[in-house]
């Protein structure tokens, strides 16, 4: 099994890069694990408290569950990946059965901050886009897809996104084997990663 970790700040294009990588691969050869599925279960908190959580701090992630799921996949077991709602700021209670595959891609802003999970990755990738580009993309995406308005995104950017990015996420670039510049769509870099993955599948 080849486990690839893909990190980078919010809006850098991780999900887009993952979709480009897997688009030409057989569906039964690859599975994707999103760090967002592993936000802590906060069902015990009311919505008014959940909305105040700092979702860009490493402590917001249930790394224990994520690591145990990766270990299960390595052992050939199917896992139940939690489904997360950005509207409710919580897990939905539903799960997505995820089968072990030859290639497992784990993507998320904080996945390279955790030493134990870092050790599990065969390839570590950091997707980079400038902060103004990321903020513009995040604004558009969160308003269109995650039920947010401009004030919510800008407040969160100033209070948590920017400081957490500087403190925790950007420094993980140093752990990356490959850094993909993604201010523009980077088809060359995606092709290189695809070639590595295809080589592994043969």
Ligand X SMILES: Nc1ncnc2c1ncn2[C@@H]1O[C@H](COP(=O)(O)OP(=O)(O)O)[C@@H](O)[C@H]1O
Enumerate binding residues for ligand L45E5XJ5 (CB under 6 A). 10-11, 14-15, 36, 39, 55-56, 86, 89, 109, 156, 161
Residue 59 beta carbon to ligand L45E5XJ5: minimum distance, rounded to whole angstroms = 13
Asked if residue 2 lies in contact with residue 122, where contact means CB atoms within 8 angstroms, the answer is yes
* Cα angle 196-34-59, degrees, rounded to a multiple of 5: 120
Nearer to ligand X, 46 or 188 (CB): 188
For ligand X, the binding residue among 4, 7, 11, 172 (CB under 6 A) is 11
- Closest among 195, 180, 164 to 55, alpha carbons compared: 164
Q: Which does 126 bind (CB under 5 to 8 A by kind): ligand X, ligand L45E5XJ5, none?
A: none
Query: Least Å distance between CB 134 and ligand L45E5XJ5?
Result: 9
Cα–Cα distance measured from residue 197 to residue 202, given in angstroms and rounded to the nearest whole number: 9
How many Cβ atoms from other residues are within 10 Å of residue 189's Cβ? 19
Q: For residues 110 and 35, is the Cβ–Cβ distance under 8 A?
A: yes
The residues that touch ligand X, with contacts defined as CB under 6 A, are 8, 10-16, 137, 141, 182, 184-185
């Amino acid at each position: 099994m080849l486990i690839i970790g893909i990190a980078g700040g919010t809006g850098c294009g991780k999900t887009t890069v993952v979709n480009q990588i897997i688009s030409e691969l057989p569906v039964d050869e690859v599975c994707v694990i999103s760090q967002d599925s592993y936000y802590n279960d906060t069902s015990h908190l009311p919505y008014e408290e959940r909305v105040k959580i700092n979702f860009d701090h490493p402590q917001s992630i249930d790394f224990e569950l994520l690591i145990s799921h990766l270990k299960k996949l390595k052992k050939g077991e199917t896992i139940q990946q939690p489904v997360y709602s950005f509207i409710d700021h919580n897990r939905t209670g539903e799960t997505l059965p995820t089968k072990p595959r030859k290639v497992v891609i784990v993507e998320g802003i904080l996945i390279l901050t955790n030493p134990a999970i870092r050790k599990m990755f065969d390839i570590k990738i950091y997707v980079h886009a400038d902060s103004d580009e990321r903020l513009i993309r995040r604004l558009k995406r969160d308003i269109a897809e995650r039920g947010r308005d401009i004030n919510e995104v800008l407040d969160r950017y100033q209070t948590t996104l920017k400081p957490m990015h500087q403190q925790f996420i950007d420094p993980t670039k140093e752990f990356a084997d490959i850094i993909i510049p993604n201010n523009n769509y980077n088809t060359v870099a995606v092709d290189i990663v695809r070639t590595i993955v295809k080589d592994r599948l043969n």
